[in-house]
A and B are shown apart, each in its own frame.
Chain A
Amino acid sequence: MIPFLLTFILALLLYLLLTAGSGSMLLWSPSELVAGIALSLLAAAVARNFLCRSGSFRMANPLRLLLIPLYLLGPFLLEVTKANLDVAYRVITGNIRPGIIRVQSGLKTDLGIFMLANSITLTPGTITVDIDEKSHDLYVHNINIPDGWEGRSGVEDRELFSIANLPAWIRRIAE
Chain B
Amino acid sequence: MIADILILACLVIGLFFNTLGIVGLLRFPDVYTRMHATTKMTTFGSMFTALSVIIYGAALFLSSGDGQYVTLSVHALIAAVSLAFTNAVGSHAIARGAHKAGIKPSPAIVDRLEEYTP
Q: A: which residues have CB within 8 A of B?
A: 17-23, 27, 80-81, 83-84, 87-88, 91-92, 94, 96-102, 117-118, 121-122, 125, 127-130, 132-133, 139, 141, 143, 145, 149-150, 153
Contact = CB atoms under 8 A, between A and B. Distances in A.
Contact of A98 (B20, B33, B84, B85): B33
B113 interface: yes
Given A96-B28, A127-B36, A91 B74 contact: no
Given A97-B109, A129-B113, A88 B78 contact: no
A84 B17 contact: yes
Given A99-B110, A100-B111, A130-B113, A143 B74 contact: no
8 contacts: A20-B70, A21-B71, A96-B28, A100-B32, A117-B92, A122-B39, A122-B88, A139-B113
A3 B105 CA distance: 44
A17 B41 contact: no
Contacts of A22: 67, 71
Nearest to A17: B74
A21 B105 contact: no
A97 to B, nearest CB: 6
Contacts of B74: 17-18, 20-21
A101 B108 CA distance: 11
Contacts of A130: 95-96, 99, 113, 116
Interface in B13-37: 17, 20-21, 23-24, 27-28, 30, 32-33, 35-37
Contacts of A133: 118
A86 B118 CA distance: 34
Nearest to B81: A72
A22 to B, nearest CB: 7
Nearest to B107: A98
A101 B88 CA distance: 19
Contacts of B116: 102, 130, 132, 139
A145 B36 contact: no
Contact of A122 (B23, B43, B75, B108): B43
Contact of B69 (A18, A21, A101, A125): A21
Contacts of B111: 99-100
A78 to B, nearest CB: 13
B8 to A, nearest CB: 19
Which 7 pairs between the two chains have the least Cβ-Cβ distance? A21-B70, A21-B67, A99-B109, A21-B71, A150-B110, A91-B24, A99-B110
